[in-house]
């Protein structure tokens, strides 16, 4: 029995030695043999992986990763922008306008979101008299002074990045929700707290248009070369 185990051990050593010799060579860059390569290199195209000689005949340039079509907005990225710095709310007020239609549905959803996230400080009517605002003074009243005329892009930018003692809310509400809140705040600037339907929506849409300077785009996704803009309601990315 001992001879049997000794013979098996010698055979194993010889076998592993042979495999080691076969897998090694003079080329230091040779990775050697790869067991079951299909487990690591799938037949399907992977966008972040390009194998040697794996030419993708369906994409320009032969790569797997495609550049998004010009003037398109990715799903879930409505109103997303990066070119305006966090401290430039005034710039956002001049350059950004609300891409959403000011309908009664959007205004109603904006009101719900406002009451949920904003009213503790700003109050239900936007007068700065929320429970938190009553304790920490200095919360603005939307109907007074310059706050009554803040453009919708300015409001959106402050929701995302915060300002003064107001903390950023970009992680709590997505871009579409931010625009709906900003839309409802524009209504609070006029002292209107009730959603009145399409008539109110049309009036607010006209106000949003008035906020934008002449020649300004309706979204921040304007192609600076062609001057064209994408339809924010469509997702043309494959």
List domains and CATH numbers for the chain: 2-62 (no CATH), 89-211 (1.10.760.10)
- Identify the band that residue 232 occupies on the pLDDT scale cut at 50, 70 and 90: very low
Q: What is the pLDDT of residues 102-120, one digit of tens each?
A: 899 999 999 999 999 999 9
d(CA 114, CA 204): 16
Determine the pLDDT at residue 20.
60
Q: How far apart (Å, rounded) are the C-alpha atoms in residues 235 and 48? A: 22
Neighbours of 73 (CB within 10 A): 24
Q: How many CB atoms lie within 10 A of CB 157?
A: 28
What local confidence, expressed as pLDDT, does residue 149 receive? 92
Q: Which residue has the higher pLDDT, 92 or 78?
A: 92
pLDDT at 227 over 80: no
Residue 150: CB partners within 8 Å, gap ≥ 6? 93, 189
Residue 187 has a pLDDT of 92
DSSP state letter for 32: -
Residue 212: both structure tokens together: 């934008």
Which is more confident, 126 or 5? 126
Give the C-alpha separation, 148 to 188, whole Å: 9
Structural contact between residues 159 and 185, judged by C-beta atoms closer than 8 angstroms: no
Taking 80 as the threshold, does the pLDDT of residue 27 lie above it?
A: no
pLDDT tens, position by position, 213-222: 444 444 444 4
Residue 30 dihedral angles phi and psi, to the nearest 5°:
-75, 120
Average pLDDT, rounded, for the chain: 75
Each residue of 185-221: pLDDT tens digit? 999 999 888 886 544 444 444 455 445 444 444 444 4
Q: How many secondary structure helices (H) and strands (E) does the chain include?
A: 8, 0
pLDDT at 86 over 80: yes
Q: What whole-number distance in Å separates Cα of residue 37 and Cα of residue 205?
A: 58
């Amino acid at each position: 029995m001992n001879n049997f185990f000794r013979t098996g051990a010698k055979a194993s050593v010889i076998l592993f030695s042979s495999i080691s010799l076969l897998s090694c060579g003079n080329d230091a860059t040779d990775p050697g043999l790869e067991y079951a390569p299909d487990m690591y290199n799938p037949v399907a195209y992977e966008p972040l992986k390009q194998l040697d000689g794996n030419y993708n005949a369906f994409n320009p340039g032969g790569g797997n990763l495609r550049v998004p079509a010009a003037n398109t907005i990715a799903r879930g990225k409505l109103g997303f922008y990066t070119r305006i710095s966090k401290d430039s709310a005034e710039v956002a007020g001049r350059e950004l306008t609300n891409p959403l239609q000011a309908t009664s549905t959007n205004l109603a959803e904006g009101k719900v979101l406002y009451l949920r996230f904003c009213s503790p400080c700003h109050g239900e009517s936007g007068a700065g008299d929320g429970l938190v605002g009553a304790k920490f003074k200095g919360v603005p009243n939307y109907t007074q002074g310059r706050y009554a005329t803040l453009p919708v892009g300015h409001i959106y930018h402050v929701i995302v990045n915060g300002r003064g003692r107001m903390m950023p809310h970009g992680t709590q509400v997505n871009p579409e929700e931010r625009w709906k809140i900003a839309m409802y705040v524009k209504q609070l600037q006029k002292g209107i707290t009730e959603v009145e339907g399409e008539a109110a929506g049309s009036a607010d849409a006209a106000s949003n248009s008035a906020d934008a300077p002449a020649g300004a785009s309706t979204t921040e996704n304007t192609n600076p070369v062609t001057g064209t803009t994408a339809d924010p309601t469509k997702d043309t990315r494959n």
